[in-house]
Every structure is written in C-alpha cells, then in structure tokens.
Amino acid sequence: MIAELGQFALIVSLFVALVQAVIPMVGATRGDRAWMDVAQPAALAQFALIATAFGALMTCYVTSDFSVLNVVQNSHTDKPMLYKISGVWGNHEGSMLLWVLILSLYGMAVSIFGGNLPPGLRARALSVQAMISCGFLLFILFTSNPFTRVDPAPLNGDGLNPLLQDPGLAFHPPFLYLGYVGFSMAFSFAIAALIEGRVDAAWARWVRPWTLVAWCALTLGIAMGSWWAYYTLGWGGWWYWDPVENASFMPWLAGTALLHSSIVVEKRDTLKAWTILLAIVTFSLSLLGTFLVRSGVLTSVHSFAADPSRGVFVLGLLVLVVGGSLILFAIRGPGLKGGGLFTPLSREGSLLLNNVLMSTAAGTVLLGTLYPLFADALDLGKVSVGAPFFNAVFIPLMVPMVMTMAIGPLMSWKRGDLAGALGRLKAAFGLTLLVLIGTWLVAGGSAGPLWAAGGLALAAWLFCGALTEWAERVRLFRGPLSETVERMIRLPRSAYGMTVAHAGVAIVIAGITGSAAWTVEKIQVMHVGDVASVAGYDLRLEGVEDGIPGPNYMILRAHFVASKAGHLVTDLYPEKRMYRQPPRPTTDAAIHTNLLGDLYAVVGDADGTGGYVTRLYFNPLVPWIFIGSVTMVIGGLVSLTDRRYRVGAPLRTARAAAAAKGRV
Amino acid sequence: MTRKQRRLYFVFLGMLALGAAAALVLTAMNDTLVYFYTPSDLRTKHVSPDRRLRIGGLVEPGSVARQGDAVRFVVTDLTATLPVTYRGVLPDLFREGQGVVAEGKMDGEGLFHASEVLAKHDENYMPKEVADALKKSGQWQDEGKKP
C-alpha cells in the first residue's frame, strides 16, 4: 500500500512538474502575473509529492517490506538501521529518486526565499527547473521504478553491498547530489536570463548563493568520498583519477570557475556571456557525471553493475539539455554586452586567468576520462588513462593558477598594480623561500625531493598570500589597534570566506604533496609476535582474533602495538569483515593520526602457515587533505552569510521602482 | 583598453591555455596511455618489457598460489592463459573463477608482473574489457552472469 502511495505521488509530481514547466513560462512571455505565480505553489507541491514518494520508499526499507523489488535487492533484516536508511540511495533507483528530491528541494527553496526576485526571472527559472524535473521523473517512472513489486515476496533480501555499509559512504551521495543538483539552479537562472536577454549585477547576486551552496556541498561530498576510499579500500590511496571520481571533479572545477566569474559579473558588470556559458557547462558536466556513473560505459574501480538502457535515456537527456541550452546561448549570448573594461593586470584579469586555467583543467580531465571511449569507438585498441596522465597534465595547469591565487586578490579592479601587489607579498615570499629551502634540506637535499619542496612552498605561498590580503584589508600592525579591530568587524563576510577558502586550498596542496612524496609502504607476511618497522614506528603483531561477531558480519581482527623509539604510541586494530548477506569480505584499515601523518595498518589474507599478509603505511600530511577540504567548505559557508545576499539583493526592483516613480 | 582589445586578449589567453593543454595532453598521452591486452593477444603480439599494460580475464580456478607475500595466479580468456605474479594484499573481491583486471609489465619469460590488481566494488560486475575479451575468444556465456 505504501509503495503504491509512493508510486502515485511520483506520477502526480510529474504532472505538477509539467504544469510548472509550461504555465509560468507562458505567463512570463505574456507578462501575465497570475500565470507566473503558478510557479511557487507548484514548486512547493512538487517537493511535497516527491518527498512523499521518498518517504514511502524509506518506510519500505525501514520496515523491510520485501514485496518491493528494490528493497529485496538492496536490503536485509540484519542490517543496522543506519544502513537500512542509507540503503534507500545506495542503489540506482533510490539514488535517482534522491536526485529529483534534491532538485525539487532547490525549487522549493527558490519559491520560499526568492521573494526578492523579479517575478519574470523567478517564473522562468522555476519553469526550467521543472523541465529538468520532468526529464528525470520520466526516467524514474519508465526505466528505474523503485516501487516495482515482487510476487511472491521472498522471506529476506539480498543485502546491501558491504562496501556501502559505512558511515562515510552513507552520507556521501546526499552531499554529492546536493552539489551536482545545486548547479541546476545556476543553470536555470542562466537559461531564464538568456530568455530575458538580460544579465546584470543583480542577477549575479541572486545566483551566487545557490552556486555557493552547491559548491560547498560538492566539495564536502568529494572529500567524503575520498576519505572513504582512503580508509576502506585498504591501499592508502585517497584519489585514483578514476572515471567515477573525475565525474564528480569536473563539475567541481567548472563550478569553481563559475563561482569566481560571477564575482566579476556582480562587481564589474562584465564577462557576462562567459559566466552564462560556465553555468551551462557546469550543470552539463553534472549530468555527464550522472550518466557516466549510472551507465557503466567506462571501466572504473568504482563500477557498480549498471544497465546500459538506462544510460541511453540519461544520454538522451544530456543531449537535450546541453544541445538546447547551447543553441539558446548561441542565439542570445552575443547580445550580452559587457560593461566594465579592464586591463589584463587587474583583479578581473586574474579572475579571468583563474577561469581559463580552471576550465582548461576541466577540459583535460574530460578528455582523459572520455578518451578510452573514443579509442574504443574508433578501434584504436582498449586503453586506460590513469593517474600518470592526469598528474602530467593537471599539475602544470594548477601551479600557475595557485601562484596567481595569492596575487590576484591584492590587485585592484580595472587596473591593478602588479609591482605594488608583489611588494606587499614580500613577507609571504620570504616565508615561501624559507619553506622551500627548509623542506629541501630536511628531506635530504638531493634533486629528488625538490619537487616536493616546491609543492610545500606553493602551499606556503598561497597560505601566506591569503593571510597577507586579509592583513592588508584590516591594516594589521599599520594603524592604531582600534582601527584594525574596527576594520575586522566591518570587513564583509565574503572577504573572510575567500581568505579561509584559499587557506583551505593551501592546506590541501600541502597534504597532497606530503602524501605523494613521502608515503612509506611496507608489505610483508607477519606471524604473531613479529615486528615490522615503518617510518620509525615499530609495529608488533600482538595477536589475531577470528570469529568476532559484528551486527551482520564476522570480524577477523588483528592487534598491532605501535611504538616509537621504545615508547608506546597506540594500539591498532585493523579488521577484515565477512558479511553474511551478501557473503563478501571488506577491509577496515586501522588509522592512527597525529594530524601530521597517519599510521595506517591493514590485515590481509592468511598465508596458510599461520601468518598474515599485512600492509603498513605511514602517510605524512594526508589528514591535511581532509582538514583543508573542510576549511574550504567553511570558507564557502562564511561567504554565504554575507549580508549583501540578504540586504542588497532586491536592487533591481528598487531601482525599477525608483525609475517608475521618476516617470510619474 | 577598448572592447576589441579586450576580446583579443581574451581570445589570446584562451588560445594560450588550450595550446599549453594540447601540448601537455599529447606528450602525456604518449607516455602514459595504458593498453589493454587479453591473454590471447599476448600470445600473438610481442609487448616490450618496459611498457605498462593492462591485462584481464578470468582467474583460473585452482591456480592461486601464495608464496609469502607474493601471489601467483593464472588469468585466462578460456582460449589462452597468462601467469601473473603480484606482491601485496589482493582486493577483497578477488576470487577464482571471477573476472580480474591487472596493471603491470611483462617480463621476457612470459610472466606478468602486476603492480596493481584492480578492485571492484560489486560482485555482479564483470569488467567490460573482460566481457569483451571473452566474447572475442568465443567463450562468452550469458547465463547467470550479468555483464
């Protein structure tokens, strides 16, 4: 009964979405306020209906209703409650339902918080939003219905893929989708603006909070996925340049570019067409990501069994969205004339450079990700493009970008003073040099660690640069203290946001460099009582205990005692878990972190003579990757609280009202 | 700076970035592209020992032997076989009779030294290359196996 209710709610939501797609758009064209105003209640109704469907599916999971095929295939009565709930989106059908749920959540948010938007723009944006909704609701109803029944109902389910039964991965998809789908807002606003033929500072100000929310969620989602891969796959890697990872990284790159170019539109009323194009590209890459993950066209470490016919549907949707929006852009884009002029050496210039490099990077990642498909289609042989390719291409593009990231914010708008900016970075430069030489000497002073020293120096440069910019703006140590404090309070939150986010990037760079340069790996067979040394730590295998019962698995747990120079550091308990249903093992690494590095232990298979294959790592600076990512997210959230999004937003209407008054 | 000049600057910057990216991509592709071979391919084609490649097929039942931390197993596409050696912890879903993809180098004696054995997250999942390889060798059986 509940499943049918969900199914019914989904079908009704499709019709509501159809109404929301057509009526407000027609209304906006004819200037009919009543028709335009259909959009808000429709968006609310759409969310309520899809939430009902989602709630129905969740109820089926929580109560283990095995007459629903989706529950049978992905759940089991043994599963802890958390994974019964996360099982809802731990499969194709459910995750697509989550996709439209989040899409309609954003639509509802616009109709609630969009009171300051001009009615035409809001109506059109919500209409575009509903068109996307229609596409995905059709997709769910026709190719991936989560409410299909089975008769007779089996006594129990097949269980959830054990790798997904993990707290990190339970919340990874919702955040990833909040990011992916969040970029649909920028897209909808871009299409609405193209139809209106008008992009201005006010538009950029309206779109920016949505882009920021999406960006924060995506950053967090990617970081969570990476963290999960780090501790659960047992090879100590946190990024593999795998197609599925790239699928989430490409919208991130484009979205980051969009975040920066929209600043130029807002502050300087220029780069309009480019920003619109970026909004379209970012969402298209999100759709492409969905397609790549869902269709299984690419071989990936993270591949899950997938159905090609569904891929064709998403591909069709992708072609429609990308093709349609690009045609609209080709017709309307040239009409978007930019206002403010600027020289290459200015803040606009540096933001433009950021954009060019970010989009080029996204382009190369796209090429590398799709190349195996092209090669296969053109019969060039089966190839795989892996980490060596991406490192060789991506790093040279990012180095100049990070270098200018410290300088750009110190330049003024229109016409910047490069010499002045560099002058103010003297202290930062000195510190960078210190880090460079210091790291190089500590790491052994040969030619080998030079690039690693360079990586850390780059991180130091960016970190100090971000702080310098902040210090400049509050006139730290250069005026009376009271003035500095006054400036600290008056400084807009978005400026703090930028400083924090850029510092976060610096921390991530340091983490990446550390893990790439100084990871120590040891693989060996160990018997109980054996000691293995890794990076100065001595790990003694104290014992191995088998057959410990977990909630729905049996545990083989090894006990390592780690000590350094005779002093006890910690106990490590890596596990191998054998799940009952489906009967499959997973590895659970034991990690001890001191924030500068992780001691990482994995217990592997028995070798048959009482020994176990063990993998021990020392991963220096890896925690910084995750700390830095979270710092970036915090920066984004701080920026989101900037008062200009609340106070300054209804600028266009105010001006229009003033103009109307003037006419009277 | 006039509008036209700015546009020129814009275009120039874009071209520069694209040019640099193209140069990077082309050089990187040359060195880093990893080709996929089936055991049958390797019987007929000679592959230089310093070239990284991927191989794939099914793990032959009964072929997995451990010697200390090294594992030896045989990969088959049911027409030809290829012995593989690997040091380290095998992925959780490594099973005899299941599909496997490994990356590494051939040595002169026809032994494949794997530096990575790729993990899959899903037991129903058959690597696409392996499915294609089995189809190519005419040994593909559809029943019971979801590609």
- The rounded distance, in Å, linking the Cα atoms of A500 and A507 is 10
Question: A619: helix, coil or strand?
Answer: strand
| Minimum CA–CA partner of A302 in chain B | B121
pLDDT at A652 (0 to 100): 52
Residues sharing a CB contact under 8 Å with residue B53, sequence separation 6 or more, in sequence order: B34, B35, B36, B37, B47, B103, B104, B105, B106
pLDDT, average across residues A624-637: 96
CB pair distance less than 8 Å for B125 and A304: yes
As a whole number, the mean pLDDT across chain A is 88
Q: Count the Cβ atoms, other than its own, within 10 Å of residue A392.
A: 18
The answer, yes or no, to whether residue A194 has pLDDT greater than 60, is yes
pLDDT at B124 (0 to 100): 58
- Specify the CATH number of the domain B35-136: 2.40.50.140
CB pair distance less than 8 Å for A357 and B17: yes
Burial class (CB in 10 A: 0-12, 13-18, 19+), A535: middle
User: Given CB atoms, is B72 within the 8 Å cutoff of chain A?
Assistant: no
pLDDT, average across residues A163-169: 84
The answer, yes or no, to whether residue A257 has pLDDT greater than 80, is yes
pLDDT at A236 (0 to 100): 65
CB pair distance less than 8 Å for A161 and B121: yes
Model confidence pLDDT, tens digit, residues A268-302: 888 888 999 999 999 999 998 888 877 766 666 55
Q: How far is A237 from chain B (nearest CA, A)?
A: 12
Q: Which residue has the tokens 């059908």?
A: A93
Q: In the structure, what pLDDT confidence band is assigned to residue A648 with cuts at 50, 70 and 90?
A: very low
Residues of A in contact with B9 (CB under 8 A): 344
pLDDT at A441 (0 to 100): 85
Region of poorest pLDDT, from A9-13, A224-228, A294-298: A294-298
Q: In the structure, what pLDDT confidence band is assigned to residue B83 with cuts at 50, 70 and 90?
A: very high
Residues of B in contact with A305 (CB under 8 A): 122, 124-125, 146
pLDDT at A662 (0 to 100): 43
Cα radius of gyration (chain A)? 27
Question: ipTM of this model?
Answer: 0.80
Domain ranges of chain A: 2-336+378-386, 520-623
CB pair distance less than 8 Å for A386 and B29: no
- The rounded distance, in Å, linking the Cα atoms of A82 and A91 is 15
Q: In the structure, what pLDDT confidence band is assigned to residue A572 with cuts at 50, 70 and 90?
A: very high
The answer, yes or no, to whether residue A315 has pLDDT greater than 70, is yes
Model confidence pLDDT, tens digit, residues A71-83: 998 899 988 999 9
Region of poorest pLDDT, from A127-136, A342-351, A554-563, B3-12: B3-12
Strand B65-67 relative to strand B70-76: parallel, antiparallel, unpaired?
Answer: antiparallel
* Sign, Cα dihedral of A344, A349, A354, A356: negative
- The rounded distance, in Å, linking the Cα atoms of A281 and A258 is 9
Q: Please compute, for residue A620, the number of CA atoms within 13 A of its CA located in the half-sphere on the CB side.
A: 15
- The rounded distance, in Å, linking the Cα atoms of A61 and A80 is 11
Model confidence pLDDT, tens digit, residues A512-543: 999 888 888 888 889 999 999 998 899 999 99
pLDDT at B1 (0 to 100): 58
Q: Please compute, for residue A300, the number of CA atoms within 13 A of its CA located in the half-sphere on the CB side.
A: 26
The answer, yes or no, to whether residue B121 has pLDDT greater than 70, is no
Task: Count chain A–chain B contacts defined by CB atoms under 8 A.
Answer: 138
User: Given CB atoms, is B31 within the 8 Å cutoff of chain A?
Assistant: yes
Percent residues over pLDDT 90 in chain A: 53
Q: In the structure, what pLDDT confidence band is assigned to residue A244 with cuts at 50, 70 and 90?
A: confident
Residue to test with chain A: of B69, B72, B93, most A Cβ within 10 A: B69
The answer, yes or no, to whether residue A500 has pLDDT greater than 80, is yes
- The rounded distance, in Å, linking the Cα atoms of A475 and A386 is 47
What does pTM read for this prediction? 0.91
Residues of B in contact with A234 (CB under 8 A): 89, 91-92
Model confidence pLDDT, tens digit, residues A436-445: 988 888 877 6
8 A C-beta contact, residue B54 and residue B37: yes
Q: Kindly give the residue spans of alpha helices, DSSP state H, lying in A601-642.
A: 622-640
pLDDT, average across residues A310-337: 87
Q: Tell me which H or E stretch contains A487.
A: helix A481-490
Residue A622: closest CA among A533, A507, A523, A522: A507
User: Given CB atoms, is A400 within the 8 Å cutoff of chain B?
Assistant: no
